[in-house]
Amino acid sequence: MNSDAIVIGGSFAGLSAAIYIARARRTVCVIDSGAPRNRFAGASHGFFGQDGQPPQAMISAAKQQLANYPNARLINGYATAAEQMSERFTVQLASGEVLRATKLVLAFGVSDVLPEIPGLASCWGVSLLHCPYCHGYEFANKRLGVLYAGPGSYRHATLISEWGPTTLYLNGQRILTRMRWPSLPSEVLRSNLQELLRPLLNMGIFQHCNSKRVATAP
């Protein structure tokens, strides 16, 4: 099938692009796997006119709006390969169908890869969150934690402490130097933990964390 444009990804960005392309009276085909990054979140925040709305409901409404344009097509499936040949793009679908277009929009976003800690995945999007600006308001003034993921995590812990008392979980890492200790708030320093042990879970929410030893600066 030939189109003016193919959009890979049918979430907020992909559907927004597709609607504008359709309104420009161009033919557009959207490929969507039905697994947006925000599918684990109960609500979307900070989006104009949609604050607090369920992401899946917002996506469903956008797909219905796109369906109003006869020059737009939505395919439920996976794109497995894409290449540019001369002035056209060819996209291969998992179903075997081949699509062609003069423009290709990549709007498939990112995938979150979680540390292999038992119980962590069940908390994702509930009490284990990735963005304080998106979800921090509802957790303000509660006990918060930052799980070490790289050299910038100590700065992230400093940022998160603006929402409430924060613990930086080093998860077995010994990376905080003496030069970095003074920049961390006192509530973070008092609670720096060397290990994050198995949390006790209740309905996907961390209820309790403990540690065998407290981290010390190398």
Residue 197 has a pLDDT of 34
Mean pLDDT across 195-200: 36
Taking Cα atoms as reference points, which of 57, 60, 3, 55 lies closest to residue 30? 3
Which is more confident, 209 or 51? 51
The yes-or-no verdict on residue 28 having pLDDT over 90 is yes
pLDDT digits (tens, 9 = 90+) for 79-126: 999 999 888 999 999 999 999 999 999 999 888 888 887 888 888 888
| CATH numeric code, 2-106 | 3.50.50.60
Q: Rg of the chain over CA atoms, in angstroms?
A: 22
pLDDT tens, residue by residue, 173-195 = 665 554 455 555 554 544 433 33
Tally of CB atoms within 10 A around 80: 11
Can 2-106 and 120-208 be said to share one CATH topology?
yes
What pLDDT band is residue 17 in, cutting at 50, 70 and 90? very high
Point out which residues pair with 124 in neighbouring strands. Answer: 128
Please give the CATH superfamily to which domain 120-208 belongs. Answer: FAD/NAD(P)-binding domain (3.50.50.60)
Q: How far apart are CA 206 and CA 128, in angstroms?
A: 8
Environment class of 180 (CB within 10 Å of its CB; exposed 0-12, middle 13-18, buried 19+): middle
Q: Is residue 76 over pLDDT 80?
A: yes
Domain map (residue ranges) of the chain: 2-106, 120-208
The amino acid at 170: L
Does residue 15 have a pLDDT over 70? yes
Alpha-carbon gap, residue 95 to 209, rounded angstroms? 46
Question: Distance (Å, rounded) from C-alpha 53 to C-alpha 41?
Answer: 10
Q: What's the predicted TM-score (pTM) here?
A: 0.75
What pairing do the DSSP bridges indicate for beta strands 88-93 and 79-85? antiparallel
